[in-house]
Amino acid sequence: MNKSVKITSPVEVLDHANFSHSVDKEVGVSTNVERFHRPWGFYETLMLGKRFQVKRIVVWPGRKLSLQCHLHRAETWVVVAGCAKVTIDVETKLLSENDFVRIPLGEVHRMENPGKTPMHLIEVQSGVYLGEDDIIRYEDDYGRI
């Protein structure tokens, strides 16, 4: 079954955009982008649904996020620029552009930027609760424990 849409005129582009927005409302998706600054860089929520969230995360060179876990969500990280040092439980690996990793619900994890340029990744969260307060921190370079 082909689900693609052929658009041949500017009017059809507007119709397609209106349809997309109505579908987004129906499934509870927000596409407003706001930037949230942190000591390690920043993130933007690109899409937020009832049981998922998509973020763009930028980590400055030499910075790292908390060693942490989440009780209500799992995450998938895709590196889109730079490199990431990722720790999941006791295993550490280096990810390059286009590499990805899955972090199961409840797993202790951390991401770091060991490179000399900002690291960009896309994070997909899924779970029953996606709030920023679903973080248990074990180590933090910025005094947030």
CATH code assigned at 56: 2.60.120.10
User: Is position 97 within any domain?
Assistant: yes
User: Is position 47 within any domain?
Assistant: yes
pLDDT of residue 33: 82
Give Cβ neighbours of residue 35 (< 8 Å, ≥ 6 apart): 42, 43, 44
Mean pLDDT per 10-residue section of the chain, whose length is 145 residues: 53 52 54 87 96 97 98 98 97 98 98 98 97 95 91
Domain range spanning residue 85? 30-139
Query: pLDDT per residue over 29-67, tens digit each?
Result: 555 689 999 999 999 999 999 999 999 999 999 999 999
Domain count, the chain: 1
Contact (Cβ atoms closer than 8 angstroms) between residue 63 and residue 40: yes
Q: What is the mean pLDDT of the chain?
A: 87
User: Is position 94 within any domain?
Assistant: yes
